[in-house]
Amino acid sequence: MITSVKASLFHTVAAIPMWPSDPIPPMTHIQDKIASLPLKEMEASLLRTAILSHTARSHRADINGASIVAQVEAAIDIASYAHRSQTRQNRGEMPKVHYVEHPLRNALRALRYGVIDPATITAIVLHDVVEDCAAIVAVELCGAPLGLGEEAYRRIVHFYFLRTFGAQVVRIVGALTNPLSPDGLTRDEKNARYVEHVLSEIGDPRVFVAKYVDFVDNALSLHHSVNPAMVKRLAAKYLMLVEPFSTRLADPDLLSIVSATGIQMMLAHLNGNQLEAQAG
């Protein structure tokens, strides 16, 4: 009886037509599928895979290609460790996700805009580490003692990044990090300081691209939120950047970092914003 059942199963399986009839597609097939996914559908491991494969393809003819991929991968490792206890603000029906998805989405969005500069991509991955996780990195990765204070921890992390990634990455990360603010500021004063800091730094095309992808992931995703008061407050803050960002996108020096097609994509994203309506 057992032999009969086995024979029956064998003939059944053998009768199933193979699909596809061609040989198994190469690994580039799945890489192409991943590359076409919307960013909001990608969790951290998919984002990591896409960033590293995109970086490898962009630098395959570069004699330093392997070290560039290793640099970006090291940045992802540090950011993943530093942000491991943080979650991203819940957006409507979307699940609450690990915070590291935010900087990884930013990096992949920049790559899709045609940005291949290693320092820019590395800095985008690390852009919130100093501001949000300086104590974690300084104490747990650099061996600093407890109780030094935020300013000291930030200096330690900057030095760690300088030794690990070089001066250009540190300069971009520093420009993306909001300075410490004095106590007692009103919300309007904090917003004014934020806008002033952003505008003072985006003359550097690398900083502008890094700040722009951060703006897209934060400001242009507010429609996912179910908190009307928060949407109105943040929209008013980000709305102040729309005009200067639009003006900056017309500057020719961006072509040293972004492809012409990428700039058109950036303009399309910016022009499709809903911030004025959301700010009320």
Q: What domains does the chain contain, in order, with CATH numbers?
A: 42-279 (1.10.3210.10)
Work out the burial of residue 38: count CB atoms within 10 Å of its CB; fewer than 13 is exposed, 13-18 middle, 19 or more buried: exposed
Q: Tokens 């309506």 label which residue?
A: 277
- The distance in angstroms from the start CA to the end CA of the chain is 76
Output the pLDDT for position 111: 97
CA angle 154, 132, 245 (to 5 degrees): 100
pTM: 0.89
Return the pLDDT at 175.
98
Residue-wise pLDDT tens digits, 223-260: 888 788 889 999 999 999 999 999 999 999 999 999 99
CB 76 within 8 A of CB 51: yes
pLDDT number for residue 211: 98
Rounded-to-10 torsion of CA 226, 229, 232, 235: -70
262: tokens are 């990428």
Instruction: Give the residues of the chain that fall short of pLDDT 70.
Output: 1-28, 90-93
How far apart are alpha carbons 78 and 164 in whole angstroms? 11
- Provide the pLDDT for residue 203: 97
- The per-residue pLDDT for 54 is 93
Structure tokens at 212: 């722009």
Which residue from 101, 121, 116 is spatially nearest to 47, judged by alpha carbons? 101
Please give the pLDDT value at position 212. 98
- pLDDT tens digits, residue range 183-205? 899 999 999 999 999 999 999 99
What's the confidence (pLDDT) of residue 186?
A: 92
